Structure 1
Amino acid sequence: MEAQKYGKIVDIPFPNVDAYATETQVEDSGRKIVEKVLEYSPAAVLCQGEFTLAFQVINMLLDQDITVVAACSERIVKEVGNKKESYFNFKKFRKYTRR
């Protein structure tokens, strides 16, 4: 399994983000997540979830020199009658980088 290359896998659930949350509230949530993540001294972190919170978490982890990755998948869409079904076929991880 691709993720095992980075060591032990620990799932930390991403919280729901209220649509009316302020930027400050989202940043505070991000800080709490990062504190919890850092307790595990991770080799890498897969960060997925609500976009503005993920952005905060990713940047905070990069500030700590933690490798942060995204799952890269191939999307397969099948039309069944007038309904579309999407399937995602994992291909690899891609690192977040800064310029």
Structure 2
Amino acid sequence: MALLSLVTAPDIQQRLADSVRLLRKTKKLSRKALAEMSTVPEPTIKKFETTGQISLRQFLLLWQSVADLGSFVDLAKQAEDKLIQSQPRSINDVLRS
């Protein structure tokens, strides 16, 4: 069962889009230059930056062009570790919960 959250998927999509835009601008890249680096079409980058809508594959291509993909590997690992830690390790753990 998922916990109630005030953060929605569209909120996170827009936050990621804002991050890509900020990183792009910090690196002084135009959308056209980022499109050439990432192979993501320029109109797709514009749509992503304004709406947050993009495929996961294209997002990862953009992210690796402006930042380190390792942060997403770390995020996945944290989620896995949290899940593993919440699993019972013995019959006593099961009986206690």
Shared fold (TM-score, shorter chain, > 0.5): no
Task: Please report the TM-score for the alignment, with normalisation by the length of structure 2.
Answer: 0.28
Task: Please report the TM-score for the alignment, with normalisation by the length of structure 1.
Answer: 0.28
Higher relative contact order (CA 8 A, sep 6+): 2
